[in-house]
Amino acid sequence: MSIADTPPRLDEDINRREVPALKTHSMVLGHDGADLFAAGVADMDFKAPRVVLQALQQRLDHGVFGYETVPCGLMPALTAWLEARHGWAVNKAHILRAPNVLNSLAIAASLFADDGDGVIVQPPVFFDFYDILQENNRRLIVNPLILQDGHYTMDFDGLEVLAAAPRTKILYLCNPHNPVGRVWTQPELRRLGDICARHNVLVVSDEIHGDITFSGHKYTPFASLGASYADNAITCLSPAKSFNIAACCAAFTVISNDARRAAFQVENSRLTVNKNNAFASVAMEAAYSSGGPWLAHVLDYLEDNLALARAALENISGVELIEPDGTFLLWLDLRELGLAPDDLTAFLRKKAGWAVTRGQAFGPEGQGFARLNIACTKAKLEAALAQLAIAVDHKSR
């Protein structure tokens, strides 16, 4: 069996406190949070694929870390992954390297909209979208998702009206959508793309969670829908979630429109963010070229964890699982517990021992909800769910 095919030990309990992991840091857990179930930050508790560790070790052993160019295997690894896995044929000349996805989102907002111009987001949505827009002085335009019978959809009528406003310049698409777990379907993406094209609104698509989908759901890169969609898109991608290498700070941006790509490139060099750390490039290439078997194991494990969570939550009244299509983040509807947002966070923390991301961080639409990360060992998840069951049971007495 090759090293790529050796099954990873996903049940291994790895002490994340041995490194300055954000998930277990007091910044996230608070100073008294050492015993909490740390399920807030969106990374996995699993070791990166062996093929990635081995490639990093080899690079380390080389011992010289002088200036470098782009490794010749990197772009072919990226394009082969996108084509084989997602049916998206990307011209490698359209790929720009980036330190992380947020950086690309910020550059897109600052380049392709002016001060005070509007950027549409569809809450509840990844909280950093809000910070980026505020820090770049772009006007937040919200088109909340519609929640009906436990299922989120986009409000296309609302989108049409908001996109038509003269100073609306960009839409931040989250595909798949953090935190509600929707993997947008092709008809949904086409409809969104057509509205944006009609009103000259650029689609900046954050597709960092694209590789993580559950059975029966297929991620479609927005720009793969066709040339006209690609021409109106900036796609922000990264191996950070798929291979649990966020701290390597490796990402890339796909821009097929020549003028926009040229502008992005100029901005990248103006800000001198047009290089990657040697380890970032090595990790990214190894992950995309040989990490597929590892990811298959992880997806199976996540599917099992989802089943485990679903079964446990069915027996906890007042807590509804929003069934996810993908991502390792579960969106829990806790509104029936009848707690005010801050009281809910305190309840989860003090009574259930959970440090999850509070729903209101994703916009006011997230009040009464919480985001639970299930990319941890089964044992940890089981214990946490049992704690929640006890806490809710005590509360209702």
Ligand X SMILES: Cc1ncc(COP(=O)(O)O)c(C=O)c1O
Residue tagged 């770049």 (tokens): 136
For 67, 268, 273, 396, the CA distances from 276, given in Å and listed in that order, are 10, 12, 8, 53
Please pick, from the candidates 55, 95, 246, 306, the single residue that binds ligand X as defined by CB under 6 A: 246
Q: Does 234 bind ligand X (CB under 6 A)?
A: no
The nearest distance, CB 174 to ligand X, in angstroms, is 5
With CB under 6 A as the contact rule, the residue among 45, 206, 211, 325 that binds ligand X is 206
Among 175, 238, 357, 373, binds ligand X (CB under 6 A): 238
Contact pick of 113, 195, 208, 361 for ligand X (by CB under 6 A): 208
- Whole-angstrom CA distances from 166 to 30, 119, 198, 272 are 44, 12, 12, 33
Q: Does 42 bind ligand X (CB under 6 A)?
A: yes
Map tokens 């990790």 to a residue: 283
Strand order in the sheet with 357-358: 320-322, 329-333, 369-373, 357-358
Q: Which of residues 81-110 bind ligand X (CB under 6 A)?
A: 100-102
For ligand X, the binding residues in 303-362 under the rule CB under 6 A are none
Q: Which stretch binds ligand X (CB under 6 A): 87-95, 238-246, 274-282, 309-317?
A: 238-246
Closest CA relative to residue 331, chosen from 354, 298, 307, 362: 362
Question: Which member of 82, 174, 189, 370 binds ligand X (CB under 6 A)?
Answer: 174
Q: Which of 95, 108, 203, 240 binds ligand X (CB under 6 A)?
A: 240
Q: Quote the strand ranges of the chain, DSSP E.
A: 37-38, 95-98, 118-121, 139-142, 146-148, 151-153, 168-174, 202-206, 233-237, 251-254, 320-322, 329-333, 354-355, 357-358, 369-373
Which of 143, 178, 256, 276 touches ligand X (CB under 6 A)? 178
213 is a contact residue toward ligand X (CB under 6 A): no
Residues that bind ligand X (CB under 6 A): 42, 100-102, 126, 174, 178, 206, 208, 238, 240, 246, 251
